[in-house]
């Protein structure tokens, strides 16, 4: 007889799973996967831009140079050949590093989880941007922190707010920030705020977790110094090849001082023993020589063009009350709509009109952001971006008409 049970283990799950619930938004994304829906939701890198002959060469080189090593376990810290290669990649952004101070993780996402694991006890305070990267909120969330939310403006995190919190006596375990064209807001922390932030945190004895997935995708302007460069001792730096090479290889890393690295390595070994040797070596070979530079230029040009198209289309079709960010790089534009818009409720109507976005509430731990949305310009072609933004603009017009009629 077939077993029937709702969930036999219901009384046995850990309290930390209580926040993991089914959501309407997730259900709607099932529909957004239809090919006719222009998805401005997901932050999928445009990996189609990478020539497959390059990748085939890379894989061939892996087996020519490393042989069966690519098929074997490696140490929890990750292969030294890759760590050395990534030291060179970080140097491109003027971040100096010793390969011994690095641990390779399964995407930077795993580094977020491991950081949560080694730093957060239930009820601990963690400072995050508002809005913050949703993947960081869910990774940390499993360790049951309380959040101190620091608002963003066009110059990134409003560091004065953090200072006020410190003055009040708040001492978060760490401050998490995505300073370059961050997800989701697309804004960049200004030079003066970078200096303020590192000085403030150093004085308060609060470490900074600097997440930098998009730094190399700068379209214009001069690069700003990494927080890690400004204060190597107090900043844990997270990197990834997901946006400059491939998210499919799942290669990210943390760069931190030895005591932190040792704990991260132990936590990493407990989680999955070690990363994929094959993927590490593919990544190492990809960033040898100069082919990656050429491909990165193609990617940056592609993304910059798509950003321009999206900004232009938004300007044309969105209501005059709407405000949006103008990212100098990365993947995302953050839109604030009139206060009466509920972007989460509106998503169903958007999908019906064949366009999708991510409602703003996903990026706040406290339910704010109802009238905001994240739009990704990285994946759809310029034509599709124009189409998608046009459809959203039409929907916003109709919503306004509906709102006016409901508030005569």
Partner 1 sequence: MRVAVLAGGRTPERDVSQRSGHRVTTSLNRRGHEATMVDPAESPLVETLRGLSPELCYLTLHGKEGEDGTVQRLLDLLGFAYTGTAAFECEVAFDKVLAKDALARAGVATPPWVVIEGSALRDLGAGAALDLALERVGLPCVVKPSRSGSALGVGFVQREADLPNAVMAALAFSGAAIVEARIEGSEIAAGLVGTPQEPLPLVEIVPKNGAYDYAARYTAGATEYFAPARLPSDLVQACAAEAIRAAEALVTRDVTRVDLIADRAGVPWVLEVNVSPGMTETSLLPMAAHAAGMDLDDLCDAVLRSAQARS
The footprint of partner 1 (CB under 8 A) covers: 1-7, 10, 13, 20-24, 27-28, 30-31, 33-34, 340, 342, 345-349, 352, 398-399, 401-408
- Cβ 371 to partner 1, closest distance in Å? 11
Nearer Cβ to partner 1 (233/397): 397
CA-wise closest residue to 235 among 265, 210, 271: 210
- Cβ 5 to partner 1, closest distance in Å? 7
Nearer Cβ to partner 1 (73/403): 403
- Cβ 342 to partner 1, closest distance in Å? 6
Nearer Cβ to partner 1 (31/125): 31
Nearer Cβ to partner 1 (168/407): 407
- Cβ 24 to partner 1, closest distance in Å? 5
- Beta-carbon contacts of 186 under 8 Å, excluding residues fewer than 6 positions away, are 325, 326, 327, 330, 331, 332, 333, 334
Two tokens, residue 35: 């090919």
Which residues sit opposite 210 in a β-bridge?
Answer: 177, 237
- Cβ 366 to partner 1, closest distance in Å? 17
Nearer Cβ to partner 1 (211/399): 399
Distance CA 188, CA 212 (A): 11
- Cβ 381 to partner 1, closest distance in Å? 22
- Cβ 212 to partner 1, closest distance in Å? 34
Nearer Cβ to partner 1 (217/343): 343
Burial class for 224, CB neighbours closer than 10 Å (0-12, 13-18, 19+): buried
Exposure of 46 in the CB half-sphere (CA atoms within 13 A): 23
Nearer Cβ to partner 1 (9/48): 9
Per DSSP, the residues of 209-268 read EEE-SSTT-B-SSPPPPPHHHH-TTTEEEEEESTTTT-GGG-EEEEE--HHHHHHHHHHH
- Cβ 26 to partner 1, closest distance in Å? 8
Task: Give me the helices (H) in 237-381, please.
Answer: 258-272, 277-286, 291-317, 343-352
Contact 114, 254 (CB under 8 A): yes
Nearer Cβ to partner 1 (235/347): 347
Contact 82, 284 (CB under 8 A): yes
- What separation in angstroms does the CA of 149 have from each of 77, 158, 172, 234? 32, 10, 11, 20
Beta strands in 83-228 (DSSP E): 102-106, 125-130, 146-153, 156-157, 175-177, 208-211
Distance CA 232, CA 225 (A): 12
Distance CA 16, CA 315 (A): 43
- Cβ 188 to partner 1, closest distance in Å? 34
CA-wise closest residue to 280 among 90, 58, 43: 58
Nearer Cβ to partner 1 (29/379): 29
- Cβ 356 to partner 1, closest distance in Å? 12
Rg (CA), the chain: 22
Nearer Cβ to partner 1 (154/352): 352
Contact 321, 123 (CB under 8 A): no
Contact 28, 351 (CB under 8 A): yes
CA-wise closest residue to 337 among 395, 295, 379: 395
């Amino acid at each position: 007889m077939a077993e029937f049970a709702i969930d036999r283990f219901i009384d046995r799950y850990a309290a930390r799973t209580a926040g993991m619930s089914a959501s309407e938004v997730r259900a709607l994304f099932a529909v957004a996967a239809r090919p006719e829906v222009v998805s401005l939701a997901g932050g999928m890198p445009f990996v189609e831009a990478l020539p497959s002959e390059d990748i085939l060469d890379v894989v061939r080189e892996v087996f020519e140079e490393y042989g069966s090593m690519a098929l074997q376990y490696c140490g929890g810290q990750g292969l030294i050949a890759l760590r050395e290669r990534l030291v060179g990649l970080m140097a491109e952004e003027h971040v100096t590093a010793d390969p011994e101070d690095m641990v390779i993780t399964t995407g930077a996402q795993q580094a977020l989880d491991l950081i949560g694991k080694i730093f957060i006890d239930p009820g601990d305070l963690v400072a995050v941007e508002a809005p913050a990267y949703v993947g960081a909120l869910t990774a940390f969330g499993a360790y049951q922190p309380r959040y101190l939310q620091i608002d963003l403006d066009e110059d990134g995190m409003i560091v004065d707010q953090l200072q006020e919190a410190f003055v009040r006596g708040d001492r978060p375990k760490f401050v998490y920030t995505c300073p370059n064209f961050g997800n989701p807001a697309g804004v960049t922390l200004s030079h003066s705020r970078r200096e303020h932030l590192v000085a403030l945190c150093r004085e308060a004895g609060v470490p900074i977790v600097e997440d930098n997935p998009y730094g190399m995708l700068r379209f214009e302007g001069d690069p700003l110094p990494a927080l890690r460069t400004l204060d190597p001792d107090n900043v844990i730096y997270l990197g990834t090849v997901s946006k400059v090479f491939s998210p499919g290889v799942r290669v990210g890393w943390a760069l931190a001082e030895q005591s932190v690295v040792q704990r991260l390595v132990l936590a990493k070994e407990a989680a999955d023993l070690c990363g994929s040797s094959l993927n590490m070596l593919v990544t190492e070979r990809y960033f040898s020589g100069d082919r990656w530079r050429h491909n990165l230029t193609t990617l940056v040009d592609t993304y910059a063009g798509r950003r321009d198209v999206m900004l232009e289309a938004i300007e044309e079709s969105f209501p005059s009350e709407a405000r949006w960010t103008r990212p100098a790089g990365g993947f995302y534009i953050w839109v604030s709509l009139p206060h009466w818009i509920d972007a989460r409720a509106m998503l169903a109507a958007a999908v019906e009109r064949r366009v999708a976005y991510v409602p703003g509430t996903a990026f706040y731990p406290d339910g704010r952001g109802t009238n905001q949305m994240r739009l990704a310009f990285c994946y759809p072609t310029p034509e599709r971006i124009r189409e998608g933004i046009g459809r959203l603009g039409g929907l916003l017009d109709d919503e306004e008409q509906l709102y006016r009629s409901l508030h005569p």
